[in-house]
């Protein structure tokens, strides 16, 4: 199985330094668990995607494109020749537009299927398929059987990346290729410095006194009169608790 991991130049969420996005290092780990994988990066420099070498990637193909160019056509151009069976990518780029569209665009232009938010990928029982475990809220998963070739985006809940190792990075190879000429520039949107704004508080009442709103914001709100039972018998307490848990739906209803 030919596996390619798409790598990008990310920014550290706090420091703003150039780093390999963590989720792409996680994708790399999933890829390496499946077999030999190669990296693919389109950007002006190989760094910081080249950090993937330290996370265990043996070979990175860096397609050199200008900073303002759209990386998708450049990636597609080099991937078309390789015909990979499986492409892994982060669910969102980090440090760019962060639209999360690039994997979809690559998949569509290469005619590959796409599955999002994987936390585990394993070989399928039938040839030419993989089993993808998809992250769902509240710790649930979805197990998907996917026909190859496919692009799989990786969710941050996937296993933590392999630790970066300087010595391993030294052994990796970066192959730089020139991009095909005439790449379109990426669409630019109007930008201004980010400004924090007050967030809508879904539990807070729109009206009410300041102290009420504060209490609601802190989650200390007791919806109406709290139900307090003082010194009930344990059996009473147990019945009340089970009834309450069923009412809010965390406990399945009583089997009749």
Partner 1 sequence: MGAYAFSALIFAMVALAGWQISRRVAWWRLGAPAEVAWGRGLLALPRRYLVDVHHVVARDPYASRMHAVVAGGLVAASILTALAVLPPLGGSRLYWAIVALAFSVTVIGSLLVGARRYPRKPAKLSAGRFQILPFLLLAYAVGGLISAALLAWGGASAATLLPALALAAAGGLGLAYEVRRGPMRHAFAGALHLVAHPRPGRFEGRPDTALAPLDLDAPKLGAETPADLAWNRLLSYDSCIQCGRCETACPAFAAGQPLNPKRLIQDLVAGLTGDEASYAGSPYPNARPVADDTPPLARLIGEDARIHPDTLWACTTCRACVEECPMMIEHVDAIVSLRRHQTMELGLPPEKAAEPLAELRGAGEAGGRALSARTDFAAGLDLPLISVRGEADVLLWLGDGAYDLRYGRTLRALVRLMRDAGVDFAVLGAEERDTGDLARRLGDEASFQDLARKNVETLNRYRFNRIITADPHALHALRNEYRPFGGDWTVVHHTVFLLELVEAGKLAPGRLAGLSVTYHDPCYLGRYNGETEAPRALLDLIGVERREMARSGKRAMCCGGGGGAPVSDVAGERRIPDIRMGQAMETGAQVVAVACPTCTAMLEGVTGVRPEVKDVAELVLAAMETPR
Partner 2 sequence: MTRLRRNPRGERAAKAVAGGARIRFDLAARAEDRGRPRRDPRAESAELLIGGHARPRLDRSGAAGAAPSSVEETAPTAPKIAVVESPAFLIAVVPDALGERLSQHDRQLFGAARMLAGADGAVVALVAGEVEGLASAGADRIVAIGEPGYDPEGRAAAIAGALSSLGLRYVLFPETSDGGDVARRLAVLSGEPLFSDVEQFSATSVSRAARGRRVEQRAASKRLMTVAADAVAAYAGPEREARPEPVAPAAPIKRAILDARRITADPATTPLTVADFVVSAGNGVTDLALFRRLAEALGATPGASRMLCDAGLMPRESQVGASGSVLTATCYFALGIAGAPQHLQGVAGCEHVVAVNTDLHAAMIERAGLAIVADAQDVMQALIAALKEEGA
Q: Taking CB under 8 A as the criterion, which residues in 181-210 touch partner 1?
A: none
**How far apart are alpha carbons 115 and 142 in whole angstroms?**
11
Distances (CA, A) of 108 to 93, 101, 104, 210: 18, 11, 6, 52
Residue 148 in contact with residue 83, Cβ under 8 Å?
A: no
Question: Does position 185 bind partner 2 by CB under 8 A?
Answer: no
Site string for partner 2, 94-113 (x = CB under 8 A): xxxxxxxx--xx-xx----x
Separation between Cα atoms, residue 106 and residue 222, nearest integer Å:
50
Region of 37-45, 130-138, 159-167, 169-177 interacting with partner 2 (CB under 8 A): 130-138
Q: CA 8 to CA 41: how far, in whole Å?
A: 6
Q: Does 56 bind partner 1 (CB under 8 A)?
A: yes
- Let me know the angle formed at the C-alpha of 32 by 149 and 43, rounded to the nearest 5 degrees: 75
- Using the rule CB under 8 A, is 24 a contact of partner 2? no
Distance CA 162, CA 238 (A): 46
Q: How far is the CB of 195 from partner 2 (least distance, A)?
A: 7
Among 163, 165, 173, 201, binds partner 2 (CB under 8 A): 201
**Residues within window 147-186 making contact with partner 1, judged by CB under 8 A:** 160-168
How many residues bind partner 1, per CB under 8 A? 18
Please give the size of the binding site for partner 2, defined by CB under 8 A.
83
């Amino acid at each position: 199985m030919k596996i390619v991991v798409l790598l990008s130049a990310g920014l550290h969420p706090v420091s703003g330094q150039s780093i390999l996005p963590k989720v792409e290092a996680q994708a790399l780990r999933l890829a390496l668990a499946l077999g030999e994988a190669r990296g693919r990066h389109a950007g002006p420099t190989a760094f910081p995607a080249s950090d993937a070498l330290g996370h265990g990637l043996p070979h990175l193909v860096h397609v050199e494109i200008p900073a303002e160019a759209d990386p998708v056509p450049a990636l597609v151009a080099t991937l078309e020749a390789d015909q990979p069976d499986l492409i892994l990518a982060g669910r969102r780029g980090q440090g760019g537009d962060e639209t999360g569209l690039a994997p979809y665009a690559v998949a569509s232009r290469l005619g590959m299927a796409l599955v999002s938010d994987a936390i585990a990928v394993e070989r399928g029982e039938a040839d030419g398929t993989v089993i993808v475990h998809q992250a769902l809220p509240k710790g649930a998963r979805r197990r998907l059987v996917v026909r190859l070739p496919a692009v799989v985006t990786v969710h941050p809940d996937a296993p933590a990346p392999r630790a970066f190792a300087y010595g391993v990075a030294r052994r990796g190879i970066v192959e730089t290729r020139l991009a095909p000429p005439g790449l379109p520039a990426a669409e630019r949107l109007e930008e201004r410095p980010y400004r924090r704004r007050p967030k809508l508080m879904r539990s807070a009442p729109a009206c009410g006194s300041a102290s009420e709103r504060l209490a609601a914001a802190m989650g200390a709100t007791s919806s109406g009169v709290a139900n307090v039972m003082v010194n009930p018998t344990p059996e009473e307490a147990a019945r009340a608790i089970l009834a309450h848990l069923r009412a809010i739906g965390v406990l399945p209803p009583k089997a009749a």
